Amino acid sequence: MLRVVAPIVAGILFVVFAYFLLQGGEEARMPESSPPPPPPVAPPPEVARPEPPVSPAPAMPAPPVAPEPVVPAPGPVEPLPALPALSESDALVRSELDGLEWPRRWTPGSGIARRAAAAIENAQRGEIYRRPLTFLRPETSFRIIERDGRIYADPANAARFDGFVEAVLALDPEALVRVFTRLEPLLDESFHELGSPIGSREALVGALDEVIASSLPPGPHELVRPRVLWQYADPAIESASDLEKQLLRLGVENRSRLQGAAARLKQALAGE
């Protein structure tokens, strides 16, 4: 144990001795006062490392904005010329109807507006004013067939009206309404001459309703001739209005097509 401690003690004494020699004296001199210990050195403040800059996400390009369509300003609307007097209106009426591909044979003679008003006024009451409509008379005569001693209207008679129905279906209802609106004052004046309590527009709608509502059963129908003209043997059919009986003579298919045209014209009138 002494062998281990002795070198350590000797080492310590050597260090103490050397310290005194360095102080310049053989004896140790105590300083008058011990110098204050150096102030503790504060550790350097931690410098916050700046966050690495975050690059912003690249901005998405804005979708291209379509330019607003340039709508040209409407030009001035030319006023329609004044309507002529009713008694001098035939040229205007024909000119307006020519734009509709209206058959010229449907506007013969003079007084077209007055005759049209008479036809409309009668139709809205279920009647047919035959005088202004003689141009629509079929070119072939009415035919009958005999079965078991009884007389019937030949169903082939319906083909006599095919041309008329095709001509009506070819008319554009919206264009027809525009012409009607243009000529309406002339037709209203004609209605006033007839003493009608309603105007031409109301009467036209009523006439179209009569056509649309027609529902007499299809034939063949038995006929009788008590005098000169043939009549329907069935009292329910014979007592129907002249307009309904005329629609019955068109045949089932033609009547249905004409009713469709009447419905489209009524719709065009309502949407004006």
Contact 186, 203 (CB under 8 A): no
Helix 162-169 and helix 252-270: axis angle, to 10°? 20
Give the pairing of strands 231-232 and 222-224: antiparallel
Span 77-89, average pLDDT: 85
Collect all residues with Cβ–Cβ distance below 8 Å to 132 and sequence separation of at least 6. 115, 116, 118, 119
Q: Which range has the top average pLDDT, 36-50, 53-67, 113-127?
A: 113-127
| pLDDT per position as a tens digit, 172-221 | 999 999 999 999 999 999 999 999 999 999 999 999 999 999 999 998 99
* Per-residue pLDDT at 12 exceeds 50: no
For residues 164 and 4, give the distance between their C-alpha atoms in angstroms, rounded to a whole number: 145
CA atoms of 146 and 42, how far apart (whole Å): 136
Q: Can you tell me the mean pLDDT for 48-61?
A: 57
pTM of the model: 0.68
* pLDDT attached to residue 16: 32
Class of residue 152 by CB neighbours under 10 A (exposed 0-12, middle 13-18, buried 19+): middle
Give 261's pLDDT tier (boundaries 50, 70, 90): very high
Confidence of residue 77 (pLDDT cuts 50, 70, 90): low
Q: Are 259 and 211 in contact (CB under 8 A)?
A: yes
The confidence score (pLDDT) of residue 134 equals 66
CA–CA gap between residue 244 and residue 193 (Å, rounded)? 27
C-alpha span between 126 and 209 (Å, rounded): 10
pLDDT of residue 200: 97
For residue 119, count other CB atoms closer than 10 A to its CB: 19
Q: Is 149 left (phi over 0), alpha (psi -120 to 50) or beta?
A: left
Task: Give residue 68's pLDDT band: very low, low, confident or very high (50, 70, 90).
Answer: confident
Residues written for the chain: 272
131 pLDDT exceeds 70? no
What CA dihedral angle connects 257, 262, 210 and 138, to 10 degrees? -60
pLDDT in tens, 103-115: 888 888 899 999 9
Mean pLDDT of the chain: 80
Rounded CA-CA distance 153/164 in Å is 20
- What would the pLDDT profile of 135-151 be if each residue is shown by its tens digit? 667 888 999 999 999 99
Q: What is the pLDDT of residues 115-124, one digit of tens each?
A: 999 999 999 9
Classify the C-alpha dihedral 34-36-40-41 as positive or negative. negative
For residues 200 and 191, the answer to whether their CB atoms sit within 8 Å is: yes
DSSP 256: H
Give dist(CA 126, CA 137) in Å, integer.
Answer: 18
144-147 and 231-232 beta bridge pairing = unpaired
